[in-house]
Structure 1
Amino acid sequence: MTADGGATGNDFDFLIGTWDVANRRRLDFLDAAGAWEEFPAVARASRHFDGAANIDEVEFPTKGWSGLTLRLYAPERREWSLYWADSRTGALFPPVVGRFTGGRGEFFGDDMHEGKEVRVRYVWSGISADSARWEQAFSVDGEAGWVSNWVMEFTRP
């Protein structure tokens, strides 16, 4: 992070290495009152382009699939673009874009979920050497309301 609190090409260096991940995910991503499921994962992240790129793979052993995130930093915009793919679909999802400010990263994008247009928000927070939190939320009403639908709590093994 820069002295003024802006994004840098090293914002995701905290993620490098191996993590145990406790997942909590809604069974229906758009139902704010819906039930949650919990399951474990292991994440492994690597640094590229002198910190301006980051890749992690998350294995969900009880689910039988894996996910991958590619993060790319654009220095001219001082923004990150985060791209998600998983082994279930083999598709690269549209990016969420944003930056870190004051130790919290917020990233927004547009996508489709079960035939509905959704606004997507990722938030990275609680970052330390041994822990971090990622949360995904969807909005179907132009960001007036959000449904938090997936939380990952990262801890070092």
Structure 2
Amino acid sequence: MNAIVMIKDGRRDFDFLHGDWRVAHRMLKRRGAHCEDWLEFEGTSCNRPLMGGLCNVEEADLPARHSQGVAFRTFDIARRTWSIYWVSSIDGMMGEPVHGRFENGEGRFYGVDLDDGRCVRVVFVWDQITASSARWTQAFSYDEGLTWETNWIMQFTRA
């Protein structure tokens, strides 16, 4: 008899995201400028596992912005951390990854990015995760991590 072995090292942390989603987006109109005005628009997302959940790929459609994107996530077994890469249809380039893990039901992933030519620190946060919803936020720090400005919020609802 074959027994199913459940591995609890973190490689299944993104299983909640598999499938099709409706996504409500909120983006700051201007980042790093003390702006409090937000753009709001709808989109969709489809996520599927690869290699038994060790990786996953998410295709996002943002029709209001006339763009699409792909998130590719891969799990480092030895470090028990995820790396998340983003490719935008705007430039077709794969950005620098963010790295992190889930703890106590929340995922935090840190890295560096460019914002209008400025080098910034970036954090992605996955939280409020249920069987039918989840939230992702992105924040930038322009002062080496002393303060953070949330500039993009995505509320996922299962389609």
* Structure 2: runs of 5 or more not aligned: 1-6
Whole-angstrom CA distance in 1 between matches of 2:34 and 2:78: 37
Instruction: Kindly indicate whether residue 51 of structure 2 is the aligned counterpart of residue 49 of structure 1.
Output: yes
Structure 2 counterpart of 1:19: 21
Trace 1:117-128 onto structure 2 (pairs within 5 A).
117-128=119-130
Amino acid at match of 1:55: V
Stretches of structure 1 lacking an aligned partner (at least 5 in a row): none
Q: CA deviation at 1:142?
A: 1.1
Which letter does structure 2 place at the counterpart of 1:65?
Answer: S
Report the counterpart of residue 158 of structure 2 in structure 1: 156
Q: Which residue of 2 aligns with 1:134?
A: 136
With normalisation by structure 2, the TM-score equals 0.93
Alignment size in residue pairs: 153
Q: What residue identity is the alignment partner of 2:40?
A: E
Deviation by residue 1:3-27 (Cα, 9 ceiling, x = unmatched): xxxx511110100000000000011
Match of 1:115 among 114, 117, 137: 117
Output the amino acid matched with 1:116: R
Contact kept in structure 1, 2:29 and 2:35, CA below 8 Å: no
Looking at both structures, which has the greater relative contact order when contacts are Cα pairs under 8 Å and sequence separation is at least 6? 1
Runs of 4+ deviating beyond 2 Å: 31-34
1:28-84 deviations in Å (ceiling 9; x for gaps): 122333311000000000001111101001101122110110000001000000001
1:96 corresponds in structure 2 to: 98
Largest Rg, 1 or 2: 2
Tell me if structure 1 keeps the 8 A contact 2:28–2:35: no
Q: TM-score, with normalisation over the residues of structure 1?
A: 0.94
Q: In structure 2, how many angstroms separate the alpha carbons of the residues matched to 1:45 and 1:106?
A: 19
Identity %: 40
